[in-house]
Amino acid sequence: MDLKKFWSPFCGAVSITFDDGTENQLEKAIPPMDRLGIKGTFYIHPQGDDWQERLAPWKDVAKNGHEIGNHSLSHTCSSNFLMNFGGLEEKSLFEIEQDILIAQKRLDQIAPHQHDWTFGYPCSNTFVGRGIQRQSYVPIIAKHFLAGRSSGEYGFANHPGVVDLSCVWGISVERMSGFEMIGFAEELTHRGLWLILIFHEIDGERLTNGSYDFKMLLHYLHRKRDLIWTAPVVEVAKKICSSGLKQINGC
């Protein structure tokens, strides 16, 4: 695959993604992104009886060009994260699929204009069951979504010719400096790859990045906008699907 031809006029792509749809993101992540015209992907789990009121501000976020993604309803992770039973090890494929589809019905009301949707695996976990009963739920995501974002090895990104869109690799960047994140973007995009960065909060209390470092990254991407394509996950996934490699990429 000729990566230069594929990405032209760019050399590679970066997607900025956030998990959980928090108030912190509305206050500290989206405003600096909007000021520079940088659009990202926000994976939201619409749980609770108050989900419509709580997620109302995200309607404007979606209208402004950011992608709203499905992060499941219950945000179920491994029992190791919970330090108790009740996690993915105790779930079935049917239960996970129903949880995700309920979330999607709710999210359709937040971003009704979106025709293509992507999924963010909670805690980057892609399985249900335990031991010999353990099963991947990546096929469920492949059935319902254009792409699903998990995580991969530190320092690696996605090759558009071989990536499985149902389980693309992201890099968790919490506590990284702006220099480190820029280094990843510089190195990996110039190799013709698609880098997906996973954020949670900015100047927050958990899984956070400093606002100075986040803005440093944004300004770098803005300066390099003629060389690096910064776009939501769904937009890059659509480009890969239109490349003629649908069978490989699971489109």
pLDDT of residue 248: 59
Q: Which of 209, 226, 175 is nearest to 32 (CA)?
A: 209
Mean pLDDT of 160-183: 96
* Model pTM score: 0.95
Mean pLDDT over all residues of the chain? 95
pLDDT beyond 90 at 83: no
pLDDT of residue 81: 86
pLDDT in tens, 187-224: 999 999 999 999 999 999 889 999 999 999 999 999 99
Mean pLDDT of 40-52: 96
Contacts 24+ apart (CB under 8 A), 135-144: 135/93, 137/93, 137/96, 137/97, 138/164, 138/166, 138/167, 139/166, 140/93, 140/96, 140/97, 140/100, 141/100, 141/166, 141/167, 142/166, 142/250, 144/100, 144/101, 144/104, 144/117, 144/119
pLDDT of residue 243: 81
Percent of the chain at pLDDT > 70 equals 97
pLDDT of residue 250: 60
pLDDT beyond 80 at 57: yes
pLDDT in tens, 89-114: 999 999 999 999 999 999 999 999 99
pLDDT beyond 80 at 246: no
Mean pLDDT of 153-174: 95
pLDDT beyond 60 at 166: yes
- The percent of the chain in helix, strand and coil, each rounded to the nearest 5, is 45, 15, 40
Q: At 82, is the pLDDT very low, low, confident or very high (cuts 50, 70, 90)?
A: confident
pLDDT beyond 80 at 43: yes
Question: What are residue 250's phi and psi, to 5 degrees?
Answer: 75, 25
What CA–CA distance (Å, rounded) separates 54 from 164?
Answer: 33
Mean pLDDT of 175-184: 97
What are the structural domains of the chain? 3-249 (3.20.20.370)
Percent of the chain at pLDDT > 90 equals 91
